[in-house]
A and B are shown apart, each in its own frame.
Chain A
Amino acid sequence: MKKINSIIFLIIIAIFSNSCIDIIDLDLDTTEPRIVIEAILDATDSTCTVTATFTNDFYDSTENEIVSNLDITLTKNNNEKIILTQNPEGKYFADNIIAEKNDEFRLSVIDSSGTEYLATAITPSYPRSVAIPGFGQIPFLTVFSQIPNENATYTDSLGNVKKIMFALVYWLDKPDEENYYRFKVYENSKYINDSYNFIDDQTSMSEDTMQMGLSSFFIEGDTVQVELLSINKATYEYFQQVMDVQFSGINSTTPYNPKGNFSNEALGYFCIQQSVMQEYVVMELPINP
């Protein structure tokens, strides 16, 4: 809704005003660094990766400092303990974690001063697969179409004219449970983070068929990977807030810090996800699911 308002607003400005966008020098306050924890337990490939950094000043052009010497422990269903160890890149890691649907994990992060940041999450279920004639049993179907505009083409460095496409994904929702989904797009295995694709099963078009338009554009002939993630509710809500404060444009809300599931005012989130990836060569398909 806010996006719609922003778009109309921008068009009105484009028509009626001689607006101007420029970069200004603005003094900003600074604050003590705060800890940011991004923790992802991938139940499908049985790994847990935790990245911890400090916030820095807004105009600081150096990379955010990685927080080392943390004691990070994962506790499964209140008994089994798993210790994460820091790798040379500064990330904390553990593998061979068996996480099944409804398993509860508690992540404890203790810093050198003894402060503990705690987060709890429940393992979501693995996405349902669907049988499509001609495709077999697949987790989801991605359909690429040219953007309905005659100019939606791209000319590459060799002078080839290629279509610019958008993608719709279709999959099946698991009935009788609350599900939250996310799609990630990779180009040549590199994750494209310029847009987010999150959806809950409340916004489905019908009872169990889910449909979503991905917010990235694709070039005909490219090889891309599309990943479907089934995520826990806290992560879904956390990213809704991130989008709310960072992407809402002109019609912005009063700014705030997205609140994740960590205790003690730690920024960031602890996500448990199930993941499945499909690779595509981008082309128009003559089917309509």
Chain B
Amino acid sequence: MKNLLTIFFFNIILLTTITAQKYTISGYVRHESSGEELLYSLVKVENQKYGTSTNQYGFYSLTLPKGTYNIIYSYLGFRPDTIKIDLKKNITKNVSLYKLDKEIDEVIVKGKNSDKNVKSTDVGVLDLNVKEAKLIPVLMGEQDILKTMQLMPGVSASSEGSSGFYVRGGDSDQNLILLDEAPVYNASHLLGFFSVFNSNAINDLKLYKAGIPARYGGRLSSVTDIRMKNGNMKKWAATGGLGLISSRLTIEGPIKKDKASLIISGRRTYADLIVKNARKKYEDLTLYFYDLTIKTNLVISNNDRIFLSAYMGRDDFGLDQFGFDWGNKTATLRWNHIFNNKIFMNTTAIYSDFNYGFKFDFNENVIGFGAGIFDYNLKQDYTWYLNTNNSIKFGWQSMYHSFKPMAFEVIEDNPDDTLNNFQDTSLTPSYALESSLYLSNKQKIGKKITILYGIRFSIFNNIGPSTVKTYNENNEIIDSIKYSRNEIYNTYHFFEPRINANFLINDKNSIKASYNRTAQYLHLLSNSTASSPTDMWMPSTPNVKPEIGDQFSVGYFRNFANNKFELSTEFFYKNLHNQVDFENGADIYFNPDVESQILSGIGRAYGAEFLFRKTTGKLTGWIGYTILKSERKFDQINYGDWFPARQDRRHDFSIVLSYQIFEKFNFSGSWVYYSGDAVTFPVGKYYIDGVLVNLYSTRNANRMPDYHRLDLGLTWTIKDSKKFYSDLNLSVYNAYNRKNAYTINFIKNDDTGKTEAERLALFGIVPSITWNFKFK
């Protein structure tokens, strides 16, 4: 495989040297009024097949034969710009696009809609526009880009109101979420109801469900690449919102015009303050979350830029003598360097952590315990725009993980107490190094075929100090070997081939296919049905093997009516190896031998997705449908037979519409329907010690009732002038008050003595109101 690739790349290089004289035009595409880079915007040569798009930093490079060209720059929601270029030497051309003005641009845009859906090599990729997401009605008015993503085919909410999600039948821990390239380990606040991403600070979101490019790795099912705004380079601006349970404020502006910018964005909930004053019972309650993002961006020269971004979010819960808090921190330092107009380099140093802690008073002592994961990460990514037909990406990454499992500490010690004999049951931390190398090329072959192919080599080292234990079938330790500090005691490595191909039937129709292999070296320890901040990540070890996934995906893409409508159909098949589950009754919190209770099995998922989307005009929105089957097989579960995974939702349908009724009023609505999760219901009952115990048979043989929900929203633009913008957003979650079962408990009614099925429906109708503003 490696040899083949080498030969291929040599061929390409040879080809470039013998072809005619060519020059390169390169630069950044930006938002005119803020100077913000427009990621993945299209750069096309008029009336020619040549074209490219900006990369994840807004940079493009296009190499063409000597000549005169009209180059069209376009980005959704912006007025396309055509620039005439006389190409007789290498040119740097930075372009700024104006935002669409509805009245003026109605005519201009016609006929120039994006045909990216058909022409890109993206299979199973979702681009979410933050602006578009803003109009969709949400729970408690708190805009949430991860929840908008769940309305697209192939992506499904892990539970009611949750920002956790499943992608194409994969588990919720198989999704890599990157915020400015830093992995975010727990992307939710308040046990899942809100995502950690403040919509005011986000520039772009891209989700890869299949065809994951070689530059990403580490999770089996998907990659969500979220980019923060860089900050306004032209002038100071403030954006914000006041909601019922939370408020947001973002301030951005140039420290030095066109040279350096700063953006600070914060959000805090205050529901507990309201509750505290209203109900005496919750007088001692603290319950809130906040998050803060800061980013600064320096243009050092035409060829060098530096970005420093940081995120910090925390949830805090307290009641009487008890406290619990958890949160993520990430910091990213990035250096973009353009070697020449063909080679773009990005060097990134990243710190990321997630941790939680409990604290309680005990006989005048304060005792705390907690756990966390801490990452240090260094990587380099190169884009080499070799020629019009080939663009090569390569790079490396090395990530040092330190896992701190449950550890105790005495925060305040009462010397008169017996606690001096306190038994420390802290678990020992573990360390690992996860590294990778990748190389990929996007190659055009003739007019019809584009192939993106590449390979990622990933290697995972467990690093001492550590004690590696061997267990027998009764989970008893039969052997243990001690390793010293910094000693590498275990290594896993995998080659991960990735290939995407696009066959263009004509301008309006294409067929695409992809295959990718992914390896996942970290596993989430969670054996409960709802997501929780105490779910902790652990590394692969000699006893717990890395998860491996193979996915095949093929799709048909078609655009109608001047690209106004997009249609895509995709089919996929996934094979999953070394999947993780737990023995019945496994103790995953204070257990030094938790590895002995981890089961290893296989999985498979297959299905189809349909998406019909309208991206321009007064009426926009989409209809999505997914049909899916996802199964798992473990020797120790269900007598070794295949059983449905919890997320085996056979049908998943969503419709999202946004309609500009009048100039100042926008109406939106979304309706979702999915078949119930696979769950295990009792088939009988018995009593132990006088207490009801349910009898179960096969794993996940039953279904929760079907889920459906309608949300409605109305946005009234109160003012939209040159200096100031404000709108009022009304939204209604669960408009027809459907009682969707969050859990079903099987209990005994103490009054009647009868056994009953008790449903918990989390949300009835939830109306909310949010006021948004922007000082421009």
Contacts and interface: CB of A to CB of B under 8 A. Distances in A.
A248 B746 CA distance: 12
Interface stretch (A52-60, A74-82, A122-130, A272-280): A52-60
Contact of B585 (A23, A28, A191, A244): A244
Interface string A32-68: 0110101000000000000001111111110010000
B587 to A, nearest CB: 8
A181 to B, nearest CB: 16
Nearest to B532: A5
Contact of A4 (B324, B689, B690, B695): B324
B691 A250 contact: no
A2 to B, nearest CB: 6
A2 B531 CA distance: 11
B528 A251 contact: yes
Consensus secondary structure, chain A interface: mixed
B688 A38 contact: yes
A246 B692 contact: yes
A191 B760 CA distance: 31
B756 interface: yes
Given A38-B689, A246-B694, A33 B684 contact: yes
A254 interface: yes
Given A11-B319, A209-B418, A244-B585, A21 B759 contact: yes
Interface string B574-600: 000000000011000110000000000
A240 interface: yes
A191 B756 contact: no
B687 A30 contact: no
Contacts of B317: 8, 11
Contacts of B534: 1, 4-5
B287 A251 contact: no
A262 B671 CA distance: 51
Contact of B686 (A13, A55, A237): A55
Nearest to A57: B684
A18 B529 contact: no
B140 A58 contact: no
B529 A256 contact: no
B694 A255 contact: yes
Interface string B693-713: 111110111100100000000
Given A17-B766, A206-B421, A250-B530, A8 B191 contact: yes
Nearest to B589: A1
Interface stretch (B61-69, B88-96, B435-443, B675-683): B675-683
Interface in A131-154: none
Interface in B713-771: 739, 741-746, 753-766
Given A193-B690, A204-B423, A258-B585, A58 B746 contact: yes
A209 B530 CA distance: 37
A223 interface: no
A20 B739 contact: yes
A285 interface: no
B443 to A, nearest CB: 46
B757 A26 contact: yes
Contacts of A26: 681, 705, 744, 757
A248 to B, nearest CB: 8
B762 A17 contact: yes
B275 interface: yes
A258 B743 contact: no
B685 A206 contact: no
A61 B753 CA distance: 8
Nearest to B699: A254
A207 interface: yes
Nearest to A61: B754
B245 interface: yes
A91 interface: no
Contacts of B705: 24, 26
A121 interface: no
A259 B696 CA distance: 12
Interface string A254-269: 1111110000000111
A12 interface: yes
A251 B271 contact: no
A29 B528 CA distance: 24
Nearest to A40: B689
Contacts of B696: 255-257
B175 to A, nearest CB: 20
A261 to B, nearest CB: 13
Nearest to B750: A194
A217 interface: no
B681 A55 contact: no
B758 A9 contact: no
Contacts of A160: none
B382 to A, nearest CB: 44
A29 B697 contact: yes
Interface in B456-498: none
A54 B285 CA distance: 47
A259 B693 CA distance: 12
A9 B159 CA distance: 14
A33 B584 CA distance: 22
A62 to B, nearest CB: 11
B530 A23 contact: no
Given A15-B275, A29-B697, A251 B530 contact: yes
A31 interface: yes
A58 B683 contact: yes
Contacts of A250: 530, 742-743, 760
Contacts of B271: 15-16
B178 interface: no
A264 to B, nearest CB: 15
A19 B762 contact: yes
A58 B584 contact: no
A21 B758 contact: yes
A56 B685 CA distance: 6
A58 B682 contact: yes
A53 B282 CA distance: 46
A12 B161 CA distance: 13
A25 B754 CA distance: 13
Contacts of A225: none
A204 B529 CA distance: 30
B584 A241 contact: yes
Given A209-B418, A251-B528, A252-B529, A246 B691 contact: yes
Interface string A206-231: 11010000000000000000000000
Contacts of A241: 584-585
Given A255-B694, A257-B696, A29 B763 contact: no
A93 to B, nearest CB: 18
Most-contacted residue by chain A among B319, B528, B534, B761 (CB, 10 A): B528
Contact of A11 (B287, B532, B686): B287
A205 interface: yes
A258 B696 CA distance: 10
Contacts of A1: 534, 589-590
26 contacts: A1-B589, A5-B191, A15-B275, A16-B190, A16-B245, A17-B161, A19-B764, A20-B764, A34-B684, A34-B695, A58-B685, A64-B687, A203-B425, A206-B418, A206-B423, A209-B418, A242-B689, A246-B692, A248-B528, A249-B745, A251-B528, A254-B529, A255-B682, A256-B585, A258-B693, A267-B686
Given A36-B686, A54-B686, A57-B683, 15 more contacts: A15-B271, A19-B742, A21-B758, A22-B759, A26-B681, A38-B688, A55-B685, A58-B683, A206-B418, A206-B420, A245-B585, A246-B692, A250-B743, A252-B528, A254-B529
Interface of A: 1-2, 4-5, 8-9, 11-13, 15-26, 28-31, 33-34, 36, 38, 53-61, 64, 191, 193, 202-207, 209, 237, 239-242, 244-246, 248-259, 267-269
Q: Which 9 A-B pairs have the closest CB atoms?
A: A206-B421, A256-B584, A193-B690, A31-B683, A55-B684, A241-B585, A26-B757, A251-B528, A18-B764
